């Protein structure tokens, strides 16, 4: 009888424990290249995490791995594909072999600074509706959220404002990647690959005459000390970021958790763009107060630049054709989405 009583108590305890176990939160590992105090972490990633946790209280918990703790910047996508992380924040420009169509946003002239929020919404629709099928499904991931940076600007050591692209011919500018390098070559300038951490000395020593870098990055590297002028309305291309998740991991999540991630991701993407734009405007004001020349390219120079850089877009389209990828359709759909935001 005592054995039966003990057995019944054990069964009862198991029944009580079962719901508790079922309510344990889902743990998601999120990996990213940015340090904890970087503006992308504070203005984009943290709001995403908080937005998910607010929508499904107690159901999801995140393990954060900032500052390349799980994977280097170039390997964030692979960290998800290889089941090291559940979600990562990945610059699609780092993996043209896996995300070639997404790299169209690195091309010059795709969108202006003023249209960055419209570009965000246009890219989000493209990523969720089109690229999800034509690009991301092929590599086994789902883009749970995305964001774009404001377009890269160019900065020069001299204080003289640039009013014509003739002033850039023969100049050496630091470039963030192949797209900007091709763009400079198209206007008879020279792109030089220099890590942002080494750019101060390169400018100071005359290794380069200027740079193409995001305005928000200038104070982090104290570049205002060695630069004299900077543009506000050039469009050298931006960086497209995706937050990929393995499709099998995504499909295994409860419906309410998937909805929470999607909604929080949409909000975080827009907050991220707001952060980029706000910081850029604030940096312009700070630079003006320091006596730097902060200038807008005149309309004739912008048109001249667009015409000169069209071969860069054509070259990208030819590369997509060689891989049997319809780059023209992707750009057309993005531009259609962009026009719909007006």
Q: Note the pLDDT tens digit of each residue in 288-312.
A: 999 999 999 999 999 999 998 999 9
Q: What separation, in Å, do the N-terminal and C-terminal C-alpha atoms of the chain show?
A: 79
Greatest C-alpha distance within the chain: 98
Q: Which bin fits 68, alpha (ψ -120 to 50), beta or left (φ > 0)?
A: left
Least confident of 14-23, 152-161, 261-270: 14-23
pLDDT at 196: 82
Compute the Cα dihedral for 340, 272, 255, 75 and give only its sign. positive
Q: Is the pLDDT of residue 179 over 90?
A: no
Work out the mean pLDDT of the chain and round it to a whole number. 92
Report which secondary-structure segment, H or E, holds 271.
helix 255-289
Residues in the chain: 342
Radius of gyration of the chain (CA): 24
pLDDT at 89: 97
3-state secondary structure 209-265: CEEEECHHHCHHHCHHHCCCEEECCCCCCCCEEEEEEEHHHHHHCCHHHHHHHHHHH
Q: Which bin fits 58, alpha (ψ -120 to 50), beta or left (φ > 0)?
A: left
Which band of pLDDT confidence, cut at 50, 70 and 90, is reported for residue 181? confident
pLDDT at 20: 45
Q: Are 246 and 141 in contact (CB under 8 A)?
A: yes
Rounded to the nearest 10°, the torsion over CA 41, 43, 49, 51 is 180
- DSSP state, residue 50: H
CA 110 to chain centre: 15
pLDDT at 22: 55
Task: Please give the Cα distance from 303 to 309 (Å, whole number).
Answer: 10
Q: What are phi and psi of 289, to 5 degrees?
A: -65, -25
What confidence tens digit (pLDDT) does each residue in 69-126 have?
999 988 999 999 999 999 999 999 889 999 999 999 999 999 999 999 999 999 999 9
Task: Please give the Cα distance from 172 to 226 (Å, whole number).
Answer: 15
pLDDT at 182: 84
Q: Are 180 and 191 in contact (CB under 8 A)?
A: yes
* Residue, of 219 and 82, whose pLDDT is higher: 82
- DSSP state, residue 168: G
What confidence tens digit (pLDDT) does each residue in 12-68 have?
555 554 444 457 999 999 999 998 998 999 999 999 999 999 999 999 999 999 999
Q: Are 28 and 87 in contact (CB under 8 A)?
A: yes
**Residue 123, Cβ density class (10 Å: 0-12 exposed, 13-18 middle, ≥19 buried):** buried
CA 182 to chain centre: 20
Of the chain, the percentage scoring pLDDT greater than 90 comes to 82
């Amino acid at each position: 009888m005592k054995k039966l009583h003990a057995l019944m108590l054990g069964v009862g305890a198991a029944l009580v424990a079962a719901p508790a176990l079922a309510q344990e939160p889902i743990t998601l590992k999120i990996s990213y290249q940015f340090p904890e105090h970087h503006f992308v972490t504070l203005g984009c990633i943290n709001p995403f995490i908080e937005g998910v946790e607010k929508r499904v209280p107690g159901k999801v918990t995140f393990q954060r791995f900032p500052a390349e703790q799980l994977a280097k910047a170039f390997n964030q996508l692979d960290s998800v594909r290889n089941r090291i992380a559940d979600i990562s924040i990945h610059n699609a420009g780092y993996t043209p072999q896996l995300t070639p169509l997404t790299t169209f946003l690195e091309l010059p002239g795709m969108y202006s600074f003023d249209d960055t929020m419209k570009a965000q919404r246009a890219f989000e629709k493209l990523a969720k509706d089109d690229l999800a099928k034509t690009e991301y499904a092929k590599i086994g991931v789902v883009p749970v959220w995305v964001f774009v940076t404001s377009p890269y600007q160019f900065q020069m050591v001299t204080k003289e404002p640039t009013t014509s692209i003739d002033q850039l011919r023969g100049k050496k500018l630091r470039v963030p990647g192949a797209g900007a390098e091709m763009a400079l070559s198209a206007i008879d300038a020279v792109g030089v690959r220099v890590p942002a951490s080494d750019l101060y000395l390169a400018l100071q020593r005359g290794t380069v005459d200027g740079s193409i870098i995001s305005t928000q990055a200038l104070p982090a590297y104290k570049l205002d000390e060695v630069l004299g002028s900077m543009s506000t309305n050039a469009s050298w291309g931006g960086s497209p970021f995706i937050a990929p998740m393995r499709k099998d991991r995504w499909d295994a999540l409860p419906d309410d958790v998937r909805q929470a991630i999607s909604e929080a991701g949409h909000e975080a993407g827009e907050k991220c763009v707001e952060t980029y734009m706000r910081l850029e405007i604030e940096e312009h004001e700070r630079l003006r107060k320091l006596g730097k020349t902060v200038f807008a390219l005149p309309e004739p120079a912008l048109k001249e630049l667009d015409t000169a850089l069209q071969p860069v877009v054509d070259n990208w389209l030819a590369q997509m054709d060689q891989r049997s990828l319809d780059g023209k359709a992707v750009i057309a759909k993005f531009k259609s989405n962009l026009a719909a935001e007006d």
